[in-house]
Structure 1
């Protein structure tokens, strides 16, 4: 794989992210399953990241009752642009390579959060809790709760954490368990039921997500495997209205749409922009005369992660009258501010903060000026916007296609404000961690 000079320069500031992958902390996972690495692609530690694929029995500490809403908790700042997850159950403690894993709930899009890249380099970054409900009729007794995740951005991987639990209630039959779909397995060449290698850049749609599906309409869905369904929600249905909440990244930038007509600048009258980089803050806009007045934008990272509106989809496995779908998009207020009243001609906008001029994005991304503490950025539409303040602890570096070089250690909070360009030019992923 070829990396440009600017890619390497910009990514150097994010090395703490490589040790901050996402893992499950509630319910309490197996002692040998507490690290945050993905599964080995050769399947050596499948399932549950057990060394050699062999684990030891552990007594349950958590109880989940069928038909009653419960929760599970994830942590980690390297959220890889979100993705799709599943919660599955097996009655083997410990699970083995031959265990049967059955899906009880799927989360398509927005798992573990909705964002364009990573949050920060904090391996213990708390992420909002997820609701989960085991199906009624599930047999009571000792079982294992399994979380799997397929990240949207980065290497094609499968994450898996397992936790021994007690299933409450009075169920005594295996029929409910046997009727559930099998857990989706991908990107693990050594697993006997490996389905495929998933495509990067999409929130995958599971081939068989089951009847309990939660969908966050990210607008980035794609089939998990070639020829599979690409519409989320199961059974080919679209998302329908719902009120459950799914977490969102604490960021003031949003993912650019597939068709970009002009970048929407952060800033405007009475708005001061310092460290925020507009890398992925785009919107489809009309002519300047149709552009509404800019709204204030918060430039500081919020103390709590704000959840967007999401969708809970329960798909019946029996014939039922069709439901007219209503797509519920994530909230956009405050994430894609309107464009300035004038732009594209090298003039300043209403606040006097930004200047726009032509550039060649195939040759340069970060344009350094006489002041190393500021820069302008060249976007895919070959227009340069700025000036912006460089990230804390860095200075502008004109080498190659431009980037930043550190002048002192930077805080992990910088990851919430880093250079985007769809975040793929500023993303390094390695498994030497």
Structure 2
């Protein structure tokens, strides 16, 4: 009986490792985060204990970009030109990858990328660490209630897309424009294309897709009363996935879980 219990616990731990060993934004607080110091969710919403899970895996989109659409009532305040020490909870860094940080002034309809890190983002981070990456709010950012997004394409493993959103208040100019590039959604689903794994320095990593992102300018009217953008975001093309390693790894995980189920759960009933 003790042996069966130990095997059952091991199987459940493996399931948890496969499902939840990823990365999430913890500073500023991602929406409904369970991280210490984060505010409670808005009325009618629940704490999200799975903010470190990808929103897309294997070309299948599971959740929208921000995961949750209702913003926090209380926002973290930052000044235009201020550097935010963004912090991350590490389950598995998947060899690092590509990170983008973006702002939206119109409730996640339009995004402008303000900072990008290609290939090396979160590389070398290990489980239990809480690394920080400085991200600067543009000095010309207009004042307003803003959604701050972190998006990540992992280098190794099942082809996934991660993102978390935080609700912030920017103190800057009263109206004006903010410019950058469109958000790249490769690996978000097959419509936008899949960037293969790139564990080695010479592996194709899709960096040319980031170079090809279109410029975008967001205009904010005085007192944050209105938003216009030019151009509107459009899908960014990418090459099809010619590397099936990520999908094969996902299939291997499913097979392993099936074997564990057969040898652990079935004997419990014998």
Contact kept, 8 Å, 1:109 with 1:221, in 2: the verdict is: no
Contact kept, 8 Å, 2:102 with 2:112, in 1: the verdict is: yes
User: Could you tell me how far apart the structure 2 residues matched to 1:428 and 1:112 are?
Assistant: 25
User: Could you tell me how far apart the structure 1 residues matched to 2:111 and 2:202 are?
Assistant: 27
Q: Tell me what 1:182 maps to.
A: 182
User: Could you tell me how far apart the structure 2 residues matched to 1:68 and 1:142 are?
Assistant: 16
Among 67, 72, 92, the residue aligned to 2:81: 67
Which of the two has higher C-alpha Rg?
1
- Deviations for 1:101-155, whole angstroms, at most 9, x for unmatched residues? 110100112221237xxx34xxxx2331100002121111110110111111111
User: Given the superposition, is the C-alpha separation of residues 222 and 170 from structure 1 closer, same or farther in structure 2, using an over 3 Å criterion?
Assistant: same
Q: How does 1:392-411 map to 2 (within 5 A)?
A: none
Q: Tell me what 1:86 maps to.
A: 100
1:428 Cα offset (Å): 6.3
* CA RMSD in angstroms, aligned pairs only: 3.1
- Deviations for 1:150-183, whole angstroms, at most 9, x for unmatched residues? 111111110010110111222411x22xx31111
Q: Provide structure 1 residue ranges, at least 5 long, that are not aligned to the other structure.
A: 1-11, 203-217, 236-423
Secondary structure of the residue aligned to 1:229 is helix
User: Could you tell me how far apart the structure 2 residues matched to 1:143 and 1:112 are?
Assistant: 25
Q: Whose RCO is larger (CA < 8 A, sep 6+)?
A: 2
Among 179, 195, 218, the residue aligned to 1:198: 195
Task: Confirm whether residue 137 of structure 1 aligns to residue 153 of structure 2.
Answer: no
User: Could you tell me how far apart the structure 1 residues matched to 2:97 and 2:17 are?
Assistant: 17
Task: Tell me the TM-score normalised to structure 2 length.
Answer: 0.61
Contact kept, 8 Å, 1:17 with 1:78, in 2: the verdict is: no
Task: Confirm whether residue 47 of structure 1 aligns to residue 57 of structure 2.
Answer: no
Instruction: Give structure 1 regions of 4+ aligned residues with deviation exceeding 6 angstroms.
Output: none
* Residue correspondences, number: 189
Among 166, 170, 173, the residue aligned to 1:170: 173
Q: How does 1:6-405 map to 2 (within 5 A)?
A: 15=14, 17-18=17-18, 19-31=20-32, 35=50, 36-40=52-56, 41-50=59-68, 55-93=69-107, 95=108, 99-114=109-124, 119-120=126-127, 125-173=128-176, 175-176=177-178, 179-189=179-189, 194-202=191-199, 219-220=201-202, 222-224=204-206, 229=208
Secondary structure of the residue aligned to 2:61 is coil
1:429 Cα offset (Å): 5.1
Q: Tell me what 2:219 maps to.
A: none
Q: Which has the higher strand share?
A: 2
Q: Tell me what 2:226 maps to.
A: none
Task: Tell me the TM-score normalised to structure 1 length.
Answer: 0.39
Secondary structure of the residue aligned to 2:113 is strand
User: Given the superposition, is the C-alpha separation of residues 104 and 171 from structure 1 closer, same or farther in structure 2, using an over 3 Å criterion?
Assistant: farther
**Segment drifting more, 61-70 vs 101-110:** 61-70
